[in-house]
Amino acid sequence: MLPELENLALDRTDDGILTITLNRPSKLNALNAATIEEIGQAMQFALDEPSVRGVILTGAGEKAFVAGADIAELAALSEPLARRTAERGQEVFCSIEESNKPVIAAVNGFALGGGCELAMACHIRVASDNARFGQPEVNLGLIPGYGGTQRLTQLVGKAKALELMMTADLVKADEALRLGLVNHVVPQAELLGFCRQLLGRVLTKAPLAVGQVIDCVNAYFEPERHGYQTEVNAFARCFASEDFKEGTQAFLEKRPAVFRGE
């Protein structure tokens, strides 16, 4: 049974796709502490539930994916609480990035501040043609706190990341595509259908191998891990799996493989 959450709407289809919709349209889906906790709960459900094979993360309405943080809530924080807020936000967003099940962000409008950070934590980003991205925290005397300084730099490079974060400039969808911030740009009416089709293609592949690809790519950006050795270990693990046996047998028999994630 799907968990009932106040700020999120969850929908699971028969093909194993869980759609998580941030559902605060009157607030342009702005992130508050309760919403971040619920994102963590939804991701934990996705990871624990065998029938869920992949996730699409999007926002309610046509204006915003997530238009930033709840500024009124932030303004009331003390320094110790602000530290804990950033730590918890990073924990939840890392649970998305480190998920062994693929997560696609369907960015349907503004993705600002924490919204841009949330999208960047996903494995693939697809933007509607009216989407806008930005890290405008310096306008408030702040910096990104949910991993934005790190992930934006990884995606667009040091010089451009510094420019965007120091100027607070917004990036339109076509520019985001050129910079490598998003994978695809589509008309808004086609956004969710395109994401489902893309995720559906991923879900035809071996689940264990897909999860290991995610882990190996993440290892590249983690100084304490050795990416090449992580790849060797993952390769060996896949080689010993039932999915490898099925994949090679299906190839030799010229038939579609039926993977079980083992």
For the chain, what is the domain count? 2
pLDDT of residue 262: 73
* pTM as predicted: 0.96
Let me know whether 155 and 248 are in one domain: no
pLDDT at 197: 98
Position 71 scores a pLDDT of 86
Catalytic choice (73, 79, 137, 224): 137
Give the per-residue pLDDT at 121. 98
Query: What phi and psi values does residue 109 have, to the nearest 5 degrees?
Result: 130, -145
Q: Are residues 186 and 213 in the same domain?
A: no
* Residue 12 in domain: yes
Q: Is the dihedral of CA 132, 138, 140, 146 positive or negative?
A: positive
Place of tokens 């806008």: 132
What is the rounded distance in angstroms from the CA atom of residue 136 to the CA atom of residue 184? 23
Annotated catalytic residue, options 73, 117, 163, 175? 117
Sites in the chain below the pLDDT cut of 50: none
Task: Clarify whether 117 is annotated catalytic.
Answer: yes
For 157, the token pair is 């490079």
134 and 241 co-located in one domain: no
- In this structure, the answer to whether residues 66 and 192 fall within a common structural domain is yes
Fill in the DSSP letter of residue 161.
Answer: H
Angle 213-215-221 (CA atoms, 0-180°, nearest 5)? 110
261 within some domain: no
At 36-66, the pLDDT tens digits run 999 999 999 999 999 999 999 999 999 999 9
Q: Which residue has the tokens 């071996």?
A: 206
pLDDT at residue 70 in the model: 87
Q: Are residues 74 and 163 in the same domain?
A: yes
Q: What is the CATH number of the domain that holds 36?
A: 3.90.226.10
CA distances, 139 to each of 24, 136, 166 (Å): 23, 6, 9
**Tokens found for residue 186:** 């589509």
**Domain range for 154:** 8-202
Please confirm, yes or no, whether 79 is among the known catalytic residues: no
- Residues 27, 96: one domain? yes
pLDDT of residue 136: 97
Q: What is the pLDDT of residue 185?
A: 98
The reply to whether 58 and 175 lie within a common domain is: yes
Output the pLDDT for position 119.
Answer: 98
